[in-house]
Structure 1
Amino acid sequence: MQIVSISSLKGGVGKSSVVLGLASAALEAHVPTLVVDLDPHGDASTALGVHARPGHEVGTVLRRPRKGALASVATASSWTKHPITPHTVPAGPGAPADGSSTGDGARAVLDVAPGSAASSHLDHAAFRTKDLKRLETALRGLARYELVLIDCPPTLSALTRMAWAASHKVLSVAEPSLFSVAGTKRTMTALAQFETSRIWAVPEAGVVINRVRDDSVEQRHRMRELQELFGPLVVDPVLPDLSVMQQIQGAAWPVHRWPGAPAQDLAQRFGTILAGLTR
């Protein structure tokens, strides 16, 4: 089981969007996946069509974690109810209304351990060493999944450190802007410091550049800056800034099932990033 944390110490860079794109790619590739929504806002859960019920979400499990306890709250994403075919067109608010679904209706595993404000009790800077093992314990032994994607809060909190402690890889999400470059430096520095303070280290880290606009001179400058700072850690390909992504998320739909060339370009890019994570 590959466990990957998606992090950023700056909000608003599209961290949850990257989680959703990778989840869509995993669904398309039939990679059994669990999304763990550690962000108390629970945005990833909402976009995946899962709503936390009191006592049935990540925060409750992490209060008194037991081996494999996340299985008790893992809920199938509504995405799995849609046929996994190349030409599915969604219906519902914000979705195209002139399409149809074709194919054999094959299904794949995409579950969500939903996030909610109940996680806030751990969303603080102070923590004990044993707290770092909470998520790792709750994930242990979940043989149903080949991939776990963890959506971290945009803070260097006990929740974020807990995710890093459980992970084989950490992806830091950046956008090509001054403040985001600074936030990415903070994330990678914090990750390096975190590794030196523990008896085990995250084996691999990378930087995903999101919301790229090719026509922006400022962004091209910041892209070069990110490349200079992080070199081989920068993930290829980058992700473009496309308004269609907001439509897709508003409809709670996987990007791989949304019609049109822009969505399919995004889908291909997420598929390539996923392949790099799971090889």
Structure 2
Amino acid sequence: MLVLGICSLKGGVGKTSVTLGLASAALQRGIRTLVIDLDPQADATMALAAQRADRLDVATVLDDPRAWSVERSIGASGWATTGLDVMLGSARSADHDGPGGEDLERLAFALSFVGEYDLVLIDCPPSLGGLTRAGLTAADRAVVVTEPGLFAVMAVGRALRTIDELRRGPARRLQPLGVVVNRVQGRSSEQAFRLEELRATYGPLVLSPEIPERSVLQQAQGAGRSVHSWPGKPAAELARAFDLLLDRALRSPHTS
């Protein structure tokens, strides 16, 4: 089981969209996947059209990480009848977003009770609080999402330093998979400058391909559908990009 922690330290860069794109790619090729929605906004839960009836949520798991809470906090995604599940997000998870370290290993412990999945995607909040640190502590590989803008690029360095800090502490197996550059506009000179800045600073950690800015991604999410099931050439272009990023993740050696 490969566990990917998807994070960003700046809101609005499309972190959840990248999580959903990877989930879509995994579903398309029959990889049994669990999305853990750690973001208190719970956008991934909504976009995945997760079944909530008689379900608990990730906050309950963090309150009491045991087999019963894990089982009752996972619902099927509405994207497909099988193969993609969601540990439901909740605004209550913000109670665990403090600076203290007492909750850091709770999610990692809870993962020992999940079912037989090939891939776990943890959608972390866009901050350096306790929830992001707990998500990364539970992960094998960390994906940092950014966009080619000044403030987002500056946040990449802080995210990578946090990953390194966790590796030297509670998350011994954590490694950075790399930086996903999202919302790339082909004709922006400012974005082209920031892309070159990223490549010069972080070299091979900048993953290929970049994710282009396409409105169909928001359209598919708003309709509760995967990008791989959305018609048209722009959706196919996005699907191909997420396929290649998923390939990169699956080639990464990992242990769980």
Q: TM-score, normalised by structure 1?
A: 0.86
Which among 74, 81, 97 is matched to residue 123 of structure 1?
97
* Whole-Å separation in 2 of the counterparts to 1:194 and 1:54: 35
Identify the residue that residue 112 of structure 1 maps to in structure 2.
86
Identify the residue that residue 31 of structure 1 maps to in structure 2.
31
Which among 243, 267, 279 is matched to residue 215 of structure 2?
243
Length, aligned pairs only: 251
Residue 145 (1) aligns with residue 117 (2): yes
Aligned to 2:79, what secondary structure does the other structure show?
Answer: helix
Which among 165, 169, 173 is matched to residue 193 of structure 1?
165
Which amino acid in the other structure matches residue 243 of structure 2?
G
- Please give the per-residue CA displacement for 1:237-276, whole angstroms capped at 9, x wherever unaligned: 1000111111111101100000000000000110111111
Q: CA deviation at 1:31?
A: 0.1
* 8 Å contact kept, 2:66–2:113: no
Aligned ranges 1:39-54 → 2 under 5 Å: 39-50=39-50, 52=52
Residue 175 (1) aligns with residue 147 (2): yes
Q: CA deviation at 1:142?
A: 2.9
Structure 1: give runs of 5+ residues left out of the alignment.
82-107
* 8 Å contact kept, 1:68–1:142: no
Q: CA deviation at 1:67?
A: 4.9
* 8 Å contact kept, 2:142–2:174: yes
* Whole-Å separation in 2 of the counterparts to 1:207 and 1:164: 15
* 8 Å contact kept, 1:67–1:137: no
Q: TM-score, normalised by structure 2?
A: 0.93
Structure 2: give runs of 5+ residues left out of the alignment.
252-256
* Whole-Å separation in 2 of the counterparts to 1:256 and 1:199: 33
* 8 Å contact kept, 2:163–2:176: no
Q: CA deviation at 1:143?
A: 4.3
The list of structure 1 runs, each at least 4 consecutive aligned residues, that deviate by more than 4 angstroms after superposition, is 51-55
* Whole-Å separation in 2 of the counterparts to 1:271 and 1:216: 25
* 8 Å contact kept, 2:147–2:182: yes
Residue 76 (1) aligns with residue 76 (2): yes
Identify the residue that residue 91 of structure 1 maps to in structure 2.
none
* Whole-Å separation in 2 of the counterparts to 1:68 and 1:203: 30
Which among 200, 214, 229 is matched to residue 201 of structure 2?
229
* 8 Å contact kept, 1:68–1:140: no
Q: CA deviation at 1:73?
A: 1.5
Identify the residue that residue 104 of structure 1 maps to in structure 2.
none
- Please give the per-residue CA displacement for 1:53-100, whole angstroms capped at 9, x wherever unaligned: 68700001110112584232211100014xxxxxxxxxxxxxxxxxxx
Q: CA deviation at 1:230?
A: 1.0
Larger radius of gyration: 1
- Please give the per-residue CA displacement for 1:86-116, whole angstroms capped at 9, x wherever unaligned: xxxxxxxxxxxxxxxxxxxxxx410000101
* Whole-Å separation in 2 of the counterparts to 1:167 and 1:67: 19
